[in-house]
């Protein structure tokens, strides 16, 4: 009897301890993005005659109190936008054109599209970026968007203006463009690249359009960094389902996914020194919700966080509710979100994204900005 009583007391104590651990974990602060209500959303680059921008991530070439220089995709090509600040972008010019425009091979990975956005910069002031390339097969997706096979190529620059591109993909795919998944899109695309928090590796996040057996979601790979601080893009290491990396060409594990038939797409990842976390903004295309009800309030732009850049918080903050792709030619949509920090602590900045208010039949999509700050949420 005494033994049973002791065992019962130990069990109660064990449950109490576990309950206390769960409570402590739940009370840990999380990161929340707060928009600045004193500064309304505004269009970036209005009056320059640009259309279909930003059509990929946005790279920062220069950011000072008196000058800002951004690189992104507009239409099927890559442009640089420059001005005194985001409110006053005064010029834009093309720096990369698809191979079909410049007389390149019809088999080139970027024959129909080349979009360069997010960049990394080394201590030697050399810029590296991964570009989203498209080869079109003549198929058509929603709202008249061309079907594509996407690849991820490499661009380098010593001055942030003249870029040299690789002709081959640096993130190899087990499925080539001849593979037909029946959906009109395929390959790997929409890359986001950054140094990890100690600059020992380069992390890459991208959208897996292969579809077969998996949804269209966000996957991960990485590259090594040499002893001189320059990234080594000769070997791509893919994330495995066991959160390890392999140089074998496999279909990598997906790190952020939509539920059921929903799609997590268009990632942009940064690291905040203030938060001591990786931050990912991305779009959720709640496709199943749309198919069942004809509307999709869960679609939109989301924020999630990670301590190591590999395992991401399962709870994401909804930043903006809107369709995440052009579902048809008349619906509004917002996509390709980016966090651009404007302070050294990486606590404040702007959310940049591309938006079409009335749908592609009436207009293209254009870049907008909203000012934000990060806060700890209890």
Residue whose pair of structure tokens reads 């940049």 in the numeric block:
352
Region 296-309: what's the mean pLDDT?
95
- Per domain, the residue ranges of the chain are 42-377
Q: Which one-letter DSSP state was computed for residue 91?
A: E
Q: What is the mean pLDDT of the chain?
A: 91
Nearest to residue 316, comparing CAs of 286, 347, 274? 286
Residue 148 pLDDT class (50, 70, 90 cuts): very high
CA–CA dist 152, 171 (Å, integer): 6
Residue burial 185-195, b: 16+ Cβ < 10 Å; e: rest: bbbbbbbbbbb
Q: How many CB atoms lie within 10 A of CB 306?
A: 17
Q: What percent of the chain has pLDDT over 70?
A: 92
For residue 212, the model assigns a pLDDT of 82
- 123 vs 2: which has the higher pLDDT: 123
- 181 vs 273: which has the higher pLDDT: 273
Any bridge partners for residue 127, and if so which?
A: 121, 157
CATH architecture, domain defined by 42-377: 5 Propeller (2.115)
In this predicted model, what pLDDT tens digit does every residue of 195-249 receive, in sequence order? 999 999 999 999 999 988 888 999 999 999 999 999 999 999 999 999 999 999 9
Taking 60 as the threshold, does the pLDDT of residue 21 lie above it?
no
How many Cα atoms sit within 13 Å of 233 on the Cβ side?
Answer: 19
For residue 336, the model assigns a pLDDT of 98
Is 366 exposed, middle or buried, given 0-12, 13-18 or 19+ CB atoms closer than 10 A? Answer: buried
For residue 289, the model assigns a pLDDT of 84
C-alpha distances in angstroms, 83 versus 87, 172, 338, 365?
8, 37, 18, 21
For residue 195, the model assigns a pLDDT of 98
Region 41-48: what's the mean pLDDT?
97
């Amino acid at each position: 009897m005494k033994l049973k009583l002791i065992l019962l007391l130990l069990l109660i104590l064990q449950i109490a301890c576990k309950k206390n651990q769960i409570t402590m974990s739940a009370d840990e602060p999380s990161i929340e993005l707060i928009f600045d209500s004193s500064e309304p959303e505004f269009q970036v680059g209005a009056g320059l005659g640009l259309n279909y921008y930003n059509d990929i991530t946005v790279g920062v070439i220069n950011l000072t109190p008196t000058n800002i220089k951004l690189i992104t995709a507009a239409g099927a090509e890559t442009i640089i936008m420059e001005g005194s600040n985001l409110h006053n972008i005064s010029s834009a010019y093309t720096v990369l054109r698809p191979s079909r425009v410049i007389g390149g091979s019809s088999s080139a990975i970027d024959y129909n599209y080349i979009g360069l956005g997010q960049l990394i910069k080394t201590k030697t002031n050399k810029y590296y970026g991964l570009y989203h390339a498209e080869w079109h097969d003549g198929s058509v997706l929603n709202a008249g968007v061309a079907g594509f096979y996407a690849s991820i190529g490499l661009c380098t620059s010593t001055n942030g203006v003249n870029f040299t591109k690789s002709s081959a993909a640096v993130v190899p795919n087990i499925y080539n463009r001849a593979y037909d998944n029946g959906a009109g899109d395929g390959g790997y695309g929409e890359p986001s690249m950054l140094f990890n928090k100690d600059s020992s590796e380069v992390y890459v996040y991208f959208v897996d359009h292969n579809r077969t057996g998996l949804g269209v979601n966000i996957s991960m790979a990485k590259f090594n960094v040499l002893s001189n601080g320059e990234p080594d893009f000769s070997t791509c290491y893919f994330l495995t389902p066991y959160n390890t990396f392999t140089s074998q060409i496999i279909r990598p594990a997906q790190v952020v996914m939509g539920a059921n038939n929903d799609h997590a797409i268009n990632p942009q990842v940064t690291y905040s020194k203030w938060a001591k976390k990786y931050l990912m903004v991305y779009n959720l295309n709640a496709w199943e919700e749309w198919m069942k009800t004809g509307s999709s309030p869960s679609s939109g732009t989301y924020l999630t966080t990670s301590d190591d850049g590999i395992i991401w918080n399962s709870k994401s903050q909804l930043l903006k509710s809107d369709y995440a792709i052009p579902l048809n030619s008349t619906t509004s949509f917002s996509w390709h979100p980016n966090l651009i920090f404007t302070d050294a602590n990486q606590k404040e900045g702007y959310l940049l994204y591309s938006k079409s208010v009335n749908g592609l039949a009436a207009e293209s999509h254009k870049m907008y900005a909203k000012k934000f700050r990060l806060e700890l949420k209890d």
